[in-house]
Amino acid sequence: MLAGVMAKSVVNDKQQKLLKVVSRNGVSSILFSLEKNPMRFSQLMFKTKLNPGILDRHLKALMQLNVVEKNEDKYTLTETGRRLVSILAVKYC
């Protein structure tokens, strides 16, 4: 019984972290920008109008949560990221 409660709280912690990151100013703009195609850091910076420090912090947090990945020099959504964008699109568009 205790293992089930602990597993549930781990899932809740991950969900809370994801919600906290997604609620940051500019993160949804990053996600919707990457929905169409992979982008370089400079392309994302231009498209989202975020300063480099903020963009870097957001991308690192999204990569840590397995929402975004970096392949060579471009950032792209993971399968988790694509599912998240589709949920956000239904909710906010």
- In b/e form, how buried is each residue of 43-71, taking b as 16+ CB within 10 angstroms? ebbeebebeeeebeebbebbeebebbbee
Annotated domain spans of the chain: 26-92
Q: Which tens digit of pLDDT belongs to each residue from 13-61?
A: 777 777 667 767 888 999 999 998 999 999 999 999 999 999 999 999 9
DSSP assignment letter at 74: E
The per-type count for the chain, helices as H runs and strands as E runs, is 5, 3
pLDDT value for 52: 97
Q: What pLDDT shows up at residue 10?
A: 56
CA separation for the pair 25, 88 (Å, rounded) = 14
Q: What is the pLDDT of residue 24?
A: 74
pLDDT of residue 23: 67
Q: Has this prediction a pTM greater than 0.85? A: no
What pLDDT is recorded for position 93? 52
Question: What is the assigned CATH class of domain 26-92?
Answer: mainly alpha
